[in-house]
Amino acid sequence: MRKISDSTIRRLSLYLRFLEQATTQGRTTISSGELAKLGGTTSAQVRKDLSFFGSFGKRGLGYTVPELASRIRDILGLQRGYRVVLVGAGRMGGALVQYQGFKQRGFHIAAIYDQDARKIGSRWNGLVVRDVRHLETDLKKERSDIAIVATPADSAQQVVDRLVRCGVKAILNFAPVPLAVPPDVRVKHVNMALELETLSYALANR
Amino acid sequence: MRKISDSTIRRLSLYLRFLEQATTQGRTTISSGELAKLGGTTSAQVRKDLSFFGSFGKRGLGYTVPELASRIRDILGLQRGYRVVLVGAGRMGGALVQYQGFKQRGFHIAAIYDQDARKIGSRWNGLVVRDVRHLETDLKKERSDIAIVATPADSAQQVVDRLVRCGVKAILNFAPVPLAVPPDVRVKHVNMALELETLSYALANR
DNA sequence: TTCTGTGAATAGGTTCACAGCT
DNA sequence: AGCTGTGAACCTATTCACAGAA
């Protein structure tokens, strides 16, 4: 399959969000121009993004809302659900566990792990924090494709190594460190200080 | 000033992180190749990124660690500190308040606001959650350039409108909605469900 | 010899513009 | 008439490759 840019994938996620909103508003059809306006882009961009995967619209009419939503879910692989394990029961971990946005999109946090004896056994949003030592045995019983790493920086790499050995293929990393993984494992970094720094740059240069 | 791409700015932030790490390790000099390896890019990319702002290295030698760090801090506007206000004292807000990465980079969370009477008055990491009604009067007394919005989706736009009226020029938004702001105000979106969706796409297409 | 700085070449992403359905 | 789908044109970012300083 042709290489699709990350920006295209991110925009598709956005379009999907707008389509879901349009659905709750009872809209049945939507044009590339409307999606573009919502997403802060152009109609040509929307059509191009979609064209990499097929032609889902009707000329003169636009796109059928539920159909396009379903197609985008297919493209993004969201029709299946994902078991997600979360390592690191700090504040960030706690915020992520109860974040509704994950569940809504089919990402189900199945377990939380931590090292800290004081946290192990405590309940987070109905889930009991487990000792990270159980990671391997648990993942052998029930595989996970996706892990969220929200540990301190200095234990992130070691946790990731273990996750990779357990067959985890995608990692959302909140620890502010680069991670080494085999080429078949995908890592996405979320670094909030870095985001603020881009804002700082924008403020300093006007 | 020539328009610099967002990717360049993000990479500079990364380089800065590596330079700080190198400093604690007592390194005095570093090459573009080393920075590239740490940042998962190429030496040419590192040199090009820096070249937009000047020539900070010595041929045959590399870059002086503390000097380059200082230069990048200048470029990013990090030599000054920022007062940051946070609106939304939910789980995410709580995680952000105590996140050390902000303070380390000079982003000082000066106040937290919420609507919910049950949250108002409670302490978060030494800060008392204030009634969001005080936003205007507080910001008139002490201006802020940057705000973090971690409210539910349906109140985000209204909060942003008020922040903008109070002179806030940059917003880090955690609410999963597009925000309308005047052209001189910068908005950065953090959307963790969207990040997971890019991972889902990667998993579905191998 | 080593490593930077930078024009030139290449690759990649976005916008244009229009043919083709409905 | 309205809106999609898409090749071509354009623009931006990355990589190459090499001259030049330490």
As a whole number of angstroms, the distance between CA A152 and CA A172 comes to: 14
Strand D proximal residues, B:14-73, Cβ < 7 Å: 41-42, 44-45, 47-48, 58-61
Q: Output the average pLDDT for chain B.
A: 97
Token representation of residue B107: 């982003």
The answer to whether residue A89 is domain-embedded is yes
Same domain, A100 and A168: yes
User: Which of A20, A196, A198, A203 to mutate to probe the B interface, most B CBs <10 Å?
Assistant: A196
As a whole number of angstroms, the distance between CA A93 and CA A79 comes to: 25
The answer to whether residue B1 is domain-embedded is no
Domains contained in chain B, number: 2
Average of per-residue pLDDT across B179-201 = 97
Q: CA–C1' span, A108 to C6, in Å?
A: 50
| Closest listed residue to residue A86, CA positions, set A175, A43, A149, A167 | A149
Q: Which of A9, A104, A196 sits opposite B198 (nearest CB)?
A: A9
Same domain, B69 and B138: no
CATH number where B58 lies:
1.10.10.10
More reliable by pLDDT, B134 or B206 = B134
Side chain identity, residue A141: K
Same domain, B47 and B94: no
Same domain, B96 and B176: yes
Percent of chain B with pLDDT over 70: 100
Average of per-residue pLDDT across B199-204 = 98
Same domain, B55 and B117: no
The answer to whether residue A204 is domain-embedded is no
pLDDT at B2: 74
pLDDT at B126: 92
Side chain identity, residue A189: H
Same domain, B100 and B134: yes
pLDDT at B206: 84
Q: Tell me the residue range of the domain where B124 lies.
A: 82-194
Same domain, A68 and A101: no
What is the DSSP pairing of strand B123-124 with strand B107-114? unpaired
Yes or no, beta carbons of B176 and A105 under 8 Å apart:
no
Confidence (pTM): 0.96
Give the 3-state secondary structure of residue B177. coil
pLDDT at A40: 97
* Average pLDDT, 10 consecutive residues per value, chain A (206 residues): 92 98 97 98 98 98 98 98 98 95 96 98 95 98 98 97 98 97 97 98 94
Q: Where a domain ends, among B28, B51, B76?
A: B76
pLDDT at A157: 98
Residue nearest to nucleotide C17 (CA to C1'): A44
pLDDT at A2: 74
pLDDT at A20: 97
Asked if strand D comes closer than 7 Å to B115 Cβ, the answer is no
What is the DSSP pairing of strand B82-87 with strand B63-64? unpaired
Give pLDDT tens digits for B74-130: 999 999 999 999 999 999 999 999 999 999 999 999 999 999 999 999 999 899 999
The answer to whether residue B199 is domain-embedded is no
| Chain A residues touching residue B102 (CB < 8 angstroms) | 192-193, 196
Asked if strand C comes closer than 7 Å to B32 Cβ, the answer is yes
